[in-house]
Structure 1
Amino acid sequence: MNRTACRTLNRRRLHRAMAVALLVLAGAAPVFGQNAPPPGATAPAPSQVTNLEGVTVSGIQPGPGLWKVSKGDHVMWVLGTLSPLPEHMQWKTDEVEQTIADSQEVLGPPSVALKPKTNFFGKLFLLPSLIGARKNPDGQRLQQVVPAAEYARWQVLKQQYIGSDRSVEDWRPIFAAVELYDKAIKRSGLSSSGGVKDTVRELAKKHGVKVSTARYTMMIDEPRAAVKTFKASPMDDLECFGRTLDTVEHDLGRITARANAWATGDLEALRGLPMNDQREACIAAVTEAGFAKQLGFSDIQQKAQAIWLGAAEQALNTNTQTFAMLPMEEVLSAKGLIAQLKAKGYQVEAPDGSE
């Protein structure tokens, strides 16, 4: 294995094992359960699972339009991103490309990164300790760590979306949930990324516009010790596991409707569909664990958002025009980052002209 391959493998395993829930604020991690069943409701038996899966749109689609944030003659055009999106959609980027070409800066969404504080050889020696980081401590299998009723549901859904692969049975519940969700959305004709962020970066490169990142970087001083602690530590991820089962059983149709609304630019539908996917349980499974607190995984979402907010204000003060990306939830929410800019005195206008 060459040096580049080793570095890539190290980064992928470390990030996947230790930051699967943390990266959700950048849209890079899976979106979990829309809504749990209402109190008192009875979940269908495993043999009676019903999920009204929708049909994804395809072909050339316009996307949701751009939000305008301005102060005086300085403007920031904001694209609300979403995950997942229709896999076979072709995003019509004429308006976006022209806006990027006329801008002095492209600002990416809030993100979180883990950075081992070690040199290349340190990373190379870290690789053996990363093997099996997804697995349950003490060699336990999934059946031993989740309630019997949940495991019965899991078996039905696993057979439907994952198949006969038995390796996932050794994984922690949160990683098993991620694998199931990824397979389910793919089967539904959806893509976790939709290629939107990559397209924006390519357009910025094409027109020579600088791309800025709003990234909160967490330094890990002793990566080997951190991974060892992670592998040996329990996580309270049963709620995350159960809510993901709920999503795959009951909510793929609603997720598809939301993806279609983004693709077709149906702002009314986007406003009417839940954007908060109750990811708190899955994020908390990582951030509230003992190892996470030792590494300083506290208030990371707020820290990343604060970095983005500062970068956005600087861009609005410096540039005549800026193009930015934000998760759609941050665009539409009354407490989101766009609302926070409005509270600071910036003018905000939605694509349909509403404020």
Structure 2
Amino acid sequence: MWVFGLYSPLPQKMEWDSARVERLVAKSQEVLARPAAHMEVGFFRGLTLLPTAIGIDKNPDGATLRDVLPADVYARWQVLKGKYIGENDSIERRRPIFVADTLLSKGIWKSGLTQHTGVDELIEKTARRNKVKVTSTAFSIDVDDPRGLMKAFKKSQVEDVACFTKTLERLEGDIDAMRVRANAWANGNIAEISSLDYAERDKACSDAIFNSAFARNSPAFQHLPERIRANWMKAAEKSLADNTSTFALLPMKDLGGPTGYLADLQAKGYTVESPK
């Protein structure tokens, strides 16, 4: 199994020499897409959920960011809002976790980087062109009452100030590090990639959701990161048993170290070799 580490953000005008990757994909029997989760909702059922979904990103009880953020954090937000977003009164009523996502995307874009790298798409397109099977490793979330779930989320408080603060920190001091990581990824510099500390922003934002009362009271969201990981592991083991060669996609942050996905394979007796 060849495991390809995905990284973002990357330069907007990046020209990626993907020839070797395309050759490896073409010689494989299967491509495993990156781990994810999705909630199955049919088209007509989805239409009935629209009224409930409207406003899901708003703070409960009409609160604004000024109401829910510490004064010093709000002052830092105002500086970055002016720099990357500009005048936008409606954003002040959104939950911090949603505002953080918008701010990060805008900030990265204005810094000449992009989160939409197109790498996944190119690899999957190469697989289909060569008639290589593409397998989703997304974990399907089974929700008995999606309408009730949305109503519960709209009413719930989410402790997302840490997520918001980590996003501010990333834009205030991590832009240059993002460029260093992007160059290390592009050059395949394993030593440099390994020496870089990834920002804790993603973990803070996922913890805001998964540690909230909303998630703890919903069986569908309990232990979801662990279930996503176990689902990928199941797909990986099946592909290793079935194929001569498999090409798997994993985000860089989930790759190495004692907590990475590959550590699970090592624990089961598989040999994991780092590229030279």
TM-score bin, normalised by smaller chain: over 0.9
Indicate whether 1:90 and 2:38 are aligned.
Answer: no
Distance 2:118 2:202 in 1: 22
In the alignment, which of 314, 323, 328 is matched to residue 238 of structure 2? 314
TM-score normalised by structure 2 residue count? 0.95
AA partner of residue 172 (structure 1): R
Q: Once the two structures are superposed, what CA deviation does each residue of 1:97-125 show, in whole Å capped at 9, x if it has no partner?
A: 11111111111121111223xx4333212
Question: Structure 1: which 4+ aligned runs deviate by more than 3 Å?
Answer: none
The 3-state SS of whatever aligns with 2:206 is: helix
Give the equivalent residue in structure 2 for 1:103.
28
1:340 shift after superposition = 2.2
AA partner of residue 194 (structure 1): T
Distance 1:339 1:332 in 2: 7
How many pairs align? Answer: 275
- Listed as ranges, the matches of 1:60-139 within 5 Å are 76-116=1-41, 119-139=42-62
1:276 shift after superposition = 5.7
In the alignment, which of 163, 166, 174 is matched to residue 251 of structure 1? 174
* Larger strand share, 1 or 2: 1
* 8 Å contact from structure 1 (residues 82, 262) kept in 2: yes
Distance 1:307 1:90 in 2: 33
Give the equivalent residue in structure 1 for 2:78.
155
* 8 Å contact from structure 2 (residues 33, 137) kept in 1: yes
Indicate whether 1:214 and 2:116 are aligned.
Answer: no
* 8 Å contact from structure 1 (residues 275, 328) kept in 2: no
* 8 Å contact from structure 2 (residues 11, 112) kept in 1: yes
Cα pair distance change 1:249/1:276, threshold 3 Å: closer
Indicate whether 1:343 and 2:261 are aligned.
Answer: no
Give the equivalent residue in structure 2 for 1:32.
none
* 8 Å contact from structure 2 (residues 170, 201) kept in 1: no
AA partner of residue 214 (structure 2): F
Query: Which segment drifts farther, 293-302 or 76-85?
Result: 293-302
In the alignment, which of 170, 182, 185 is matched to residue 262 of structure 1? 185
Indicate whether 1:273 and 2:196 are aligned.
Answer: yes
1:282 shift after superposition = 1.2
The 3-state SS of whatever aligns with 2:192 is: helix
Indicate whether 1:327 and 2:251 are aligned.
Answer: yes
Distance 1:333 1:115 in 2: 33
| % identical aligned pairs | 43
The 3-state SS of whatever aligns with 1:113 is: strand
Q: Tell me how large the CA RMSD over aligned residues is.
A: 1.4
* 8 Å contact from structure 1 (residues 86, 260) kept in 2: no
Structure 2, unmatched stretches of 5+, are none
TM-score normalised by structure 1 residue count? 0.74
The 3-state SS of whatever aligns with 2:233 is: helix
The 3-state SS of whatever aligns with 1:79 is: strand
1:339 shift after superposition = 2.4
* 8 Å contact from structure 1 (residues 236, 285) kept in 2: yes
* 8 Å contact from structure 2 (residues 163, 201) kept in 1: no
Q: Once the two structures are superposed, what CA deviation does each residue of 1:24-46 show, in whole Å capped at 9, x if it has no partner?
A: xxxxxxxxxxxxxxxxxxxxxxx
* 8 Å contact from structure 1 (residues 106, 323) kept in 2: yes
1:278 shift after superposition = 4.6
* 8 Å contact from structure 1 (residues 142, 173) kept in 2: yes
AA partner of residue 328 (structure 1): M
AA partner of residue 110 (structure 1): P
Structure 1, unmatched stretches of 5+, are 1-75
* 8 Å contact from structure 1 (residues 110, 215) kept in 2: yes
